[in-house]
Amino acid sequence: MGNPVVHFEVRSGNPDATRDFYGRLFDWTFADAPEPGYKFVVTGVDGAIPGGIGQAQSGTGHVTFFVDVDDVAAALAKAEQLGGRIILPAQSVPGTQFGLFADPEGHVVGVSHND
What CATH number is given to the structural domain containing 22?
3.10.180.10
Q: Compute the distance between CA of residue 37 and CA of residue 115 in angstroms, rounded to an integer.
A: 24
By three-state DSSP, how is residue 27 classified?
coil
pLDDT digits (tens, 9 = 90+) for 48-99: 999 999 999 877 888 999 999 999 999 999 999 999 999 999 999 889 999 9
Q: Check whether residue 8 and residue 48 sit in a common domain.
A: yes
Reported as type and span, the H/E element at residue 76 is helix 72-81
* Residues 57, 100 contacting (CB under 8 angstroms): no
The 3-state DSSP composition of the chain as helix, strand, coil percent (nearest 5) reads 20, 45, 35
Q: What percent of the chain has pLDDT over 70?
A: 99
Q: Check whether residue 12 and residue 37 sit in a common domain.
A: yes
**Identity at 51, one-letter amino acid code:** G
Q: What percent of the chain has pLDDT over 90?
A: 83
Residue 64: inside a domain: no
* Residues 11, 75 contacting (CB under 8 angstroms): no
How many independent structural domains does the chain possess? 2
The pTM (predicted TM-score) of the whole model is 0.85
Q: Check whether residue 51 and residue 77 sit in a common domain.
A: no
100 falls in which pLDDT band (50, 70, 90)? very high
